[in-house]
Amino acid sequence: MRSKRQYSDFFTNAQKTMNLASVRKAEKKAENILLNLKLADLRKKIGLKQAEVPGFSQTSISRIETREDLKLSTLIGYINALGMDIEIRAISKSGKRKKEKDRNILILKS
């Protein structure tokens, strides 16, 4: 009987056969896809269709939700049009979690 392969096996093998540049490119593309899905999901969760977002045409919303690179000002405008604010936090890359009051963070709000 053949054992089931784990998904981790696929990714481990893919990394062995791909060069570093290809891995980085694939990771960036995956991040962009996730961002785009999240933007569309956010809009859908509040019950708006692309054509119903105030201040934007349906075509503009489609482009925003599928772009690989998005200007921060465009993202802020999109989020504000959904009736929401955006908060961006700059945190340490070290991965060490500190208490909120002890961290050096920069918070930008729209």
Residues 6+ apart with CB under 8 A from 107: 87, 88, 89
Structure tokens that stand for 13 in this block: 């093998």
- What does the pLDDT look like over 10-27, one tens digit per residue? 667 777 787 888 878 877
Structure tokens that stand for 102 in this block: 């002890």
For the ranges 33-42, 62-71, 81-90, the lowest mean pLDDT is seen at 33-42
Domain contains 77: yes
Domain contains 101: no
Quote the domain boundaries for residue 45: 8-84
Domain contains 33: yes
d(CA 108, CA 79): 14
Three-state SS for 2?
Answer: coil
- What does the pLDDT look like over 46-79, one tens digit per residue? 999 999 999 999 999 999 988 878 888 998 999 9
Helix residue spans in the chain (DSSP H): 7-17, 20-45, 58-66, 72-81
Domain contains 80: yes
Question: What pTM, to 2 d.p., does this model score?
Answer: 0.57
